[in-house]
């Protein structure tokens, strides 16, 4: 009977989403925006100055043992990347795969175990000859000096094993921020990125991109989680009121204002706020003196004044209390 399951297609798109995460983290400082299934390639990264990184993502379900189609994948990628390079100013042209033997070549196989990134000039001569051979059949071939072969492990139905390389890349990125972030942030963040990048790729209009603020916003949201508010702050509110704040907080903070720009505005106002008290007391003084300037941002339908005050104060308090972390995140990604 014919197998009508679409698991191989879904596996391929899952690989593409995770490849996009790996690539965006490698280029996060220069990154302007990201798009899956763009006008030119599987993955398109736009850098500052509107330069592009064009990416062809090709996965193999049984990557560690099945090398039957890897050269066909390489050939298709070179053809498509060559076409894309004629349309945009491309800084890099990347073929990314999960195969540890992307050339099906005994002389180059040993260099691709584990996460690997090899520009054309660093490939073994046997692999270079394969690339040049395919390029010779293309009318307007890409510049091989811009061509990169990238591999990262992505295989099996065991989620821990399948996502270990992208999880490591995410944790390494968080560590590089040096921001003393909360435990477990990497796993939570990866789940959010999976969802957001998948949704972006599913949109018909290819001009809709995820910009850097869209990508970094979830980190700030997770790091200002209401569960991290000190009891000495929350005890000022009636228990029933605070329960309603907890109910409203996540949805409100995720859609409020101008997102990252709102946080920047709060931190700017806090730095301009004149107060001779010690930092903890200055936070509380700022919240109590300034909350009315921001309450319109949180005036959701049906909210009463007491809850609105509590919600606004809670958001402001979280932002100013986590200001050092927020600033380190913004500096770490050049935002």
pLDDT interval class at 325 (50, 70, 90): confident
- Note whether 69 and 60 are within 8 A (CB): yes
Determine, yes or no, domain membership for 219.
no
Q: Which of 169, 202, 235 is the endpoint of a domain?
A: 202
- State whether 160 and 285 are in the same domain: no
Q: What number of other Cβ atoms are within 10 A of residue 81's Cβ?
A: 25
pLDDT interval class at 257 (50, 70, 90): very low
Helix pair 164-177, 323-332: axis angle to 10 deg? 110
pLDDT for 184 equals 87
The mean pLDDT value for 148-164 works out to 94
Determine, yes or no, domain membership for 216.
no
pLDDT interval class at 243 (50, 70, 90): confident
Q: Which residue has the higher pLDDT, 179 or 192?
A: 192
- State whether 123 and 249 are in the same domain: no
pLDDT interval class at 250 (50, 70, 90): low
pLDDT interval class at 272 (50, 70, 90): very high
- State whether 134 and 273 are in the same domain: no
Q: Which residue has the higher pLDDT, 144 or 297?
A: 144
- State whether 40 and 109 are in the same domain: yes
Pick the closest to residue 35 from 47, 227, 91 (CA basis): 47
Q: What number of other Cβ atoms are within 10 A of residue 69's Cβ?
A: 13
Query: Would you state the structure tokens that stand for residue 134, as one six-digit string?
Result: 């395919």
- State whether 182 and 47 are in the same domain: yes
- State whether 139 and 22 are in the same domain: yes
pLDDT interval class at 9 (50, 70, 90): confident
How many distinct structural domains can be found in the chain?
2
Determine, yes or no, domain membership for 35.
yes
Pick the closest to residue 35 from 44, 26, 48 (CA basis): 44
Distance CA 282, CA 34 (A): 39
Determine, yes or no, domain membership for 217.
no
Quick one: CA dihedral 266, 271, 276, 281, positive or negative?
A: positive
- State whether 83 and 145 are in the same domain: yes
Determine, yes or no, domain membership for 1.
no
Q: 253: domain range?
A: 224-332
Q: What is the pLDDT of residues 61-75, one digit of tens each?
A: 999 999 999 999 999
Determine, yes or no, domain membership for 210.
no
- Is pLDDT of 280 > 90? no
Q: What is the pLDDT of residues 25-52, one digit of tens each?
A: 999 999 999 999 887 889 999 999 999 9
- State whether 182 and 141 are in the same domain: yes
- State whether 198 and 255 are in the same domain: no
pLDDT for 324 equals 86
Determine, yes or no, domain membership for 213.
no
The mean pLDDT value for 226-239 works out to 78
Q: What number of other Cβ atoms are within 10 A of residue 199's Cβ?
A: 12
Q: What is the pTM of this model?
A: 0.87
Determine, yes or no, domain membership for 310.
yes
pLDDT for 254 equals 60
- State whether 318 and 230 are in the same domain: yes
Q: What is the pLDDT of residues 80-114, one digit of tens each?
A: 999 999 999 899 999 999 999 999 998 898 999 88
pLDDT for 222 equals 82
Whole-number average pLDDT of the chain: 89
- Is pLDDT of 241 > 90? no
pLDDT interval class at 225 (50, 70, 90): confident
- State whether 178 and 254 are in the same domain: no
- State whether 235 and 143 are in the same domain: no
């Amino acid at each position: 009977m014919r197998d009508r399951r679409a698991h191989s297609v879904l596996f391929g798109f899952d690989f593409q989403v995770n490849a996009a995460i790996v690539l965006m983290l490698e280029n996060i400082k220069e990154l302007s925006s990201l798009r899956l299934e763009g006008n030119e390639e599987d993955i398109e990264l736009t850098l500052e100055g509107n330069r592009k990184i064009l990416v062809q993502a090709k996965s193999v379900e049984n990557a560690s043992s099945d090398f039957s189609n890897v050269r066909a994948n390489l050939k298709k990628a070179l053809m498509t990347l060559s076409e894309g390079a004629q349309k945009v100013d491309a800084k890099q042209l990347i073929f990314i795969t999960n195969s540890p033997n992307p050339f099906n070549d005994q002389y180059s196989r040993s260099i691709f175990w584990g996460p690997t990134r090899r520009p054309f000039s660093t490939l073994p001569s046997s692999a270079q000859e394969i690339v040049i051979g395919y390029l010779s059949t293309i009318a307007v071939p890409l510049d091989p000096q811009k061509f990169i072969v990238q591999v990262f492990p992505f295989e099996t139905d065991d989620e821990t094993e399948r996502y270990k390389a992208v999880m490591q890349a995410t944790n390494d990125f968080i560590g590089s921020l040096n921001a003393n972030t909360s435990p477990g942030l990497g796993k939570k963040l990866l789940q959010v990125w999976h969802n957001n990048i998948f949704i972006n790729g599913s949109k018909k209009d290819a001009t809709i991109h995820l910009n850097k603020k869209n990508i970094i916003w979830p980190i700030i949201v997770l790091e200002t989680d209401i569960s991290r508010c000190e009891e000495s702050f929350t005890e000022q509110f009636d228990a029933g009121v605070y329960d309603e704040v907890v109910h409203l907080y996540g949805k409100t903070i995720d859609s409020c204002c101008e997102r990252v720009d709102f946080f920047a505005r709060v931190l700017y106002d806090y730095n301009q706020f004149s107060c001779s008290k010690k930092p903890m007391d200055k936070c509380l003084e700022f919240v109590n003196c300034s909350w009315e300037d921001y309450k319109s941002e949180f005036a959701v339908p049906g909210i009463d004044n007491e809850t609105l005050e509590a919600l606004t104060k809670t958001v402001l308090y979280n932002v100013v209390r986590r200001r050092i972390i927020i600033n380190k995140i913004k500096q770490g990604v050049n935002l």
